[in-house]
Structure 1
Amino acid sequence: MVTALQETSAIPAPPPAGFELSVTSGLQRYAVQFNEFALTSAFQPIFSVSHMRAVGYEGLLRAHDALDRPVPALDVFGEAARHGELHHLDRLAQALHLENFKMLGAEREWLFLNVHPGALTDPYHAAVLFANLKRLALSPRRIVLEVLEQRAEDLDKLAEGVRQFREEGFLIALDDFGAGHSNIERIWQLNPDIVKLDRIVLSHAAHRTEMATILPGLVSLLHEAGKLVLIEGIETEHEAQLALACDADFVQGYFFGRPNPGLADGTQASACIGELTERYRVQTEARERRNASRLAPYVRAFERAAERLAAGEPLDEVCWNFLGLDHAARCFLLDANGRQAGSNIVLRADRAARETRFSPLADAQGANWLRRPYFRAAIEAPERVHVTRPYLSINEAMPCVTLSVATRVGSQLCVLCGDIDWVEEAPA
């Protein structure tokens, strides 16, 4: 593959044949003819929430027919695919975006280029791309190649092509993760630097509580795999707040900035993200206050139960006040090694009936909960009540919060635990 280039301040060479300079909205940009379509570029900004500014731009194809009517880019690519011209159009679009990106005057931002998987294994395509970069004095380190969500006939060959481009300095993004053929296996095989979550993932999270709960875990999984996460298709403030809540690194969508020929308005973008972050802070603090108020009666009853247990009263008697609260599920006792002593204490008949669906799990005597955060937290800081984050209870496969406290019962250190059914409540 061609040796990596360093970006310089050299004057770019003339554009390829057929590229014509035009003025749109007061900005100069290049256009080119492809069959009956006139093509040009638009750039949608990609923002870092933490930096509060655009860190990249995705090059998007804009097409018009002979009557100057807009034509969806998908239709243009579909037409090219039917005539065996897909790779030619792919190279033409990339050259066009590179040319127009250079004219933007962006000094440090990335250019995100959509790439058909087959183009990454084509030596001619690589040579053309490097020739364009050399002509424009752009470093590969300024380019993020987005591997489009399409089935690759030879995934091993694609992975090798991706590896070679990365070695030359390009960043690799996996596009549309969560849709079609983009799944966790592709992350292991292609090893992208950035994963772009498909809009459908965000849409589900915006309309379904269980998906909104899953989204932060998905982002966390990708982070643990060493990938930066970009959430695309953000159109509303609610969706933007979801992106902030799940700790996404980058955001893209109409809410933050629409595609246009020029650079994003830095002042406006910073103000937008700043206001969004402040509202997120206010909402987060309000939710934490609601949760603390909601938990307060459970914590008081649980503290009293621990005091009575330490005084020598039986477990099934000390838990009555706690289990009498509306969403209290069960109490159980662990030894200093995390092993459960005795059965779960469940007082209400409706609770016992519900647990029959998971009857193989009902008998927890002797179970070892050493790995659970509630046990570790209690052992590390005895004599105080600890509260977990919501998690999935193995008892009923539903969200719960666990209270725990390490206390001495006679001469033995034990950990008293109490589960609470937990469904996030909407703000009043």
Structure 2
Amino acid sequence: MNQNPRLAQNQSRSIVKQQGSFSGWFDKWQVNSHFQPIYSIALQRVVGYEGLMRVNDNGRAISPLVAFASCNSIDETLKLDRLSRALHLLNFKSVQSRGQWIFLNLRGEEICQRNLDPSDLVEQLARHGYQPRQIVLEILEDLILDDQLLIEFVANYKAAGFIVAIDDFGAGYSNFDRIWKLNPNIVKLDRCMIASAVEENRARRIFSRLISLVRETESLVLIEGIETQDEALLAMDSEADMVQGYYFAKPNSMDEVRDCDALMSFKRLGNKLNHQKASQDLQYQSKVKVYESLLSHCANMLQLGVGFKESCQHLIKKQGCSCVYMLNQEGFQVTTTLKGIAAEATDTHYQPFADNEGINWARREYFSKAISAMGKVYISQPYLALPDVAMNVTISLAFSAKGQSYVLCCDVDYKYLEVADEQSTLPTDLGVDLDLGNMLLG
């Protein structure tokens, strides 16, 4: 029978029990287990613990990276790696009955031909009182160059009942191609992703959508490395399933891990997030409401026979307005594009997109949604708009004039809608009644 990643076998002489917990010896180093809780955002409770190796040399802490780098051969590396997993399993038994997962890191050197059969590992776990469904094998892909071997390994271990997690997505070797091929149970997002999302608007816009996309591959998402309140709030506002990091709980020995403080943090974060979102939504809706009124006014003027440019003069002067244009009932643009005060000079790299008159926008939701609900304002999701290649929101309204249907569209700079500013107010010199109920002529 093929040999597998050994968890406790041949390590008994290196492991001792002291003061209720197990520690091991590797050469002159003392090796211990620490555990970091992993929390479900929805359930707001611990669903697992990641086993983390701690190395001590006569009272001096040694980084696990340094410890592995100090090994003189692959055999030594694997012995140290297996010793750490054996310790994690022995020390985790005190909470095993709670039904939580234990996350075990599996180095790339273990993903090899001789370990493709999981049956030995299943037997070893059974001797220690574990079942595969309790174990999350966290695969570190940095040294795995054979994709087919990795695919076969993951498939075999999943079939045997193990949970498989891919670590450090967004950094190193992890990418969507491997997720599609491996179909892991869990994808762990590297800390660099949430750190960037907190600091940069563009990364923040992508972050939640990226999580949604990963979940559509039928993998759960775990955000690791959360260290600040802003990162925790962003994680909770996403569709991520689990979180892990120093903000919630630092790694510690199993008998010293405390969950109650983190659970209180979830409640505080939830209250703060609700307040924050309510404030942002109010600000956003306040700005959008002004645009709805101005757009309705423009449509009313057009129905009265006023020219396109004159009808839109107040709209294009509104803060945040990028441009205004009009489509016919088939989605073709029938007017020139009026630039608003928020319009940026078109990047000459995108010159082929500059002339939009006559272009068909029927595939855009801001056309299809508006034309199917005449007289109702539609507000799009943020998207990359042409020709400015900028993030915009399109506010559109379908109306009838001279027996024809049209869709009036206004692109608004999304950065303006995102950022809180002074209270938005309606212009007072529109010259028409702004009763929205009677705005559009029948």
One-letter amino acid matched to 1:44: Q
Structure 2 residue 375 is matched with structure 1 residue 380: no
Find the partner of 2:90 among 88, 92, 99: 99
- 1:139 aligned residue: 131
Gap regions ≥5 residues in structure 1: 3-11
Q: Contact 1:32 / 1:39 at 8 angstroms: preserved in 2?
A: yes
- 1:8 aligned residue: none
Q: Contact 1:120 / 1:162 at 8 angstroms: preserved in 2?
A: no
Deviations, residues 235-277 of structure 1 (Å, cap 9, x unaligned): 1101101112222111000111111112654433322111101
Q: Residues 18-29 of structure 1: matches in 2 within 5 Å? A: 18-23=14-19, 28-29=20-21
One-letter amino acid matched to 2:319: D
In the TM superposition, residue 160 of structure 1 has moved relative to its aligned partner by: 0.6
Deviations, residues 111-149 of structure 1 (Å, cap 9, x unaligned): 111111231335358455323311122111111111114
Structure 2 residue 425 is matched with structure 1 residue 425: no
Structure 2 residue 262 is matched with structure 1 residue 269: yes
In the TM superposition, residue 212 of structure 1 has moved relative to its aligned partner by: 1.7
Gap regions ≥5 residues in structure 2: 3-7, 423-442
In the TM superposition, residue 280 of structure 1 has moved relative to its aligned partner by: 0.5
Query: In 2, distance between residues paired with 1:339 and 1:112?
Result: 55
In the TM superposition, residue 83 of structure 1 has moved relative to its aligned partner by: 5.8
- 1:360 aligned residue: 352
- 2:385 aligned residue: 393
In the TM superposition, residue 189 of structure 1 has moved relative to its aligned partner by: 2.2
Find the partner of 1:108 among 99, 111, 116: 99
Q: Residues 251-266 of structure 1: matches in 2 within 5 Å? A: 251-262=243-254, 264-266=257-259
Query: In 1, distance between residues paired with 2:121 and 2:291?
Result: 63
Moved more, 296-305 or 246-255: 296-305
- 1:175 aligned residue: 167
Structure 2 residue 64 is matched with structure 1 residue 73: yes
- 1:191 aligned residue: 183
- 1:312 aligned residue: 305
Structure 2 residue 283 is matched with structure 1 residue 301: no
Q: Contact 1:95 / 1:132 at 8 angstroms: preserved in 2?
A: no
Query: In 2, distance between residues paired with 1:370 and 1:176?
Result: 40
Moved more, 156-165 or 325-334: 325-334
TM-score (norm 2): 0.87
Find the partner of 1:16 among 12, 16, 23: 12
Give the secondary structure class of the aligned counterpart of 2:98. Answer: coil
Q: Residues 222-237 of structure 1: matches in 2 within 5 Å? A: 222-237=214-229
- 1:150 aligned residue: 142
Q: Contact 2:249 / 2:259 at 8 angstroms: preserved in 1?
A: no
Moved more, 332-341 or 223-232: 332-341
Q: Contact 1:401 / 1:419 at 8 angstroms: preserved in 2?
A: yes
Between Structure 1 and Structure 2, how many residues are aligned?
413
In the TM superposition, residue 314 of structure 1 has moved relative to its aligned partner by: 3.1
Q: Contact 1:145 / 1:173 at 8 angstroms: preserved in 2?
A: yes
Aligned-residue Cα RMSD (Å) equals: 2.5
Moved more, 303-312 or 49-58: 303-312
Structure 2 residue 394 is matched with structure 1 residue 402: yes
Q: Contact 2:91 / 2:254 at 8 angstroms: preserved in 1?
A: no
Q: Contact 1:95 / 1:129 at 8 angstroms: preserved in 2?
A: no
One-letter amino acid matched to 1:329: S
Moved more, 324-333 or 248-257: 324-333
Describe the shift of the 1:262–1:106 C-alpha distance in structure 2 as closer, same or farther (beyond 3 A): farther
Query: In 2, distance between residues paired with 1:355 and 1:312?
Result: 35
Q: Contact 2:345 / 2:388 at 8 angstroms: preserved in 1?
A: no
Query: In 2, distance between residues paired with 1:84 and 1:352?
Result: 60
Q: Contact 2:122 / 2:131 at 8 angstroms: preserved in 1?
A: no
